[in-house]
Amino acid sequence: MLDLERLRALHSVATYGSVSAAADVLHVTTSAVSQQLAKLERETGQKLLERNGRGVRLTDAAELLVAHAERILSLVEQAQADLEAHRGSVVGQLTVASFPTAIRGLMPAALRSLRADHPDLRVLLREEDPMRSMPLVLRGDFDMAVVQDWNNEPLPLTEGLHKGVICEDVADVALPAGHDLAGRDTIDLKELAGDPWISSSSDSICCDWLLRTLRAIDSEPRIDHQAYEFATQLSLVAAGLGNIILPRLGRCDVPPGVAIVPLSAPLSRRVYAVWREEAARRPAIRAAVTALRAAIPAGGGEEVAARVI
């Protein structure tokens, strides 16, 4: 009978391209992966890996076995989810990827609630940009990811994933206090055409979105400075170096020298949890989504960070 962990090792090598990459994902040594593969070769009586320069490549027999392994591992995950659902208990381990703003604005309260209500559940959290986290969920690196999209640019959901809406997060403009429009009640984004902007790193979903949003109003973006965290971006705004689009969930302590002005045509983003179809029945997934929705900061008027929808 084929050993499940050996199949998992082979599937990881096929997915990530090398023995060392598979070892990193499986949190074991490269030697341990090599031993598992050697045992699988003896078990099947087939050569599974061949040297290819400095790396390895899968043989035809390995490719055939990987196709079966993918289905087997999916069925095992579905069986585990069904058993957890049948038992109705929130137990085990839940690995979660999340973008930085949600980690700061939602995760502390959500994780505290999960720990208090479900002490037998262990949640492991890692910061990831949404463009990277959804593929990682799909291939099994994470059980769930917290991601975002914007009302003018919906998130395409990859086949094989389900999503649940956590909240809607309204965005304002943060301007240097000395800006000519800083005292306005609202601003049309077109009024800021030609201004310098501050954004997150160029490989992030937020930077891509800002570029497309500004170009949609016939304004070629002038992004002079890039910083990932909103707190850092606000410091640059306070120094008079540019404007930012600031979601309310990402609003930390606003430093002196910054004016926050709502947009006359509001921009907002939706925050989602996404998970694999096979895991949809896991009580741990449902508990995490519930905790995230309950973690929306409370407030009133413009101080509301986000709202559950």
Q: Could you say which DSSP state residue 187 is in?
A: B
Threshold 0.75, pTM exceeds = no
Which one of 86, 106, 141 terminates a domain?
A: 86
Same domain membership, residue 77 and residue 111:
no
3-class DSSP state of 110:
helix
pLDDT at 87 over 70: no
Q: Between the CA of residue 198 and those of 161, 246, 271, what are the distances in Å?
A: 33, 11, 22
Same domain, 246 and 192: yes
Q: How much is the average pLDDT of 69-90? A: 68
Q: How confident is the model at residue 289 (pLDDT cuts 50, 70, 90)?
A: very high
Return the pLDDT at 243.
Answer: 94
DSSP one-letter code for 277: G
184, 261 in Cβ contact below 8 A?
A: yes
Q: Which one of 67, 86, 105 terminates a domain?
A: 86
Q: How many domains does the chain have?
A: 2
Q: Are both 82 and 192 inside the same structural domain?
A: no
Q: CATH number for the domain including 46?
A: 1.10.10.10
Q: At which of 59, 86, 113 does a domain end?
A: 86
CATH number of the domain enclosing 228: 3.40.190.290
- 139 with 246, same domain: the answer is yes
Portion of the chain with pLDDT greater than 90, in percent: 33
The per-residue pLDDT for range 195-250, each reduced to its tens digit, is 999 998 877 777 888 888 888 877 778 888 998 888 899 999 999 999 999 988 87
Domain range for 13 is 4-86
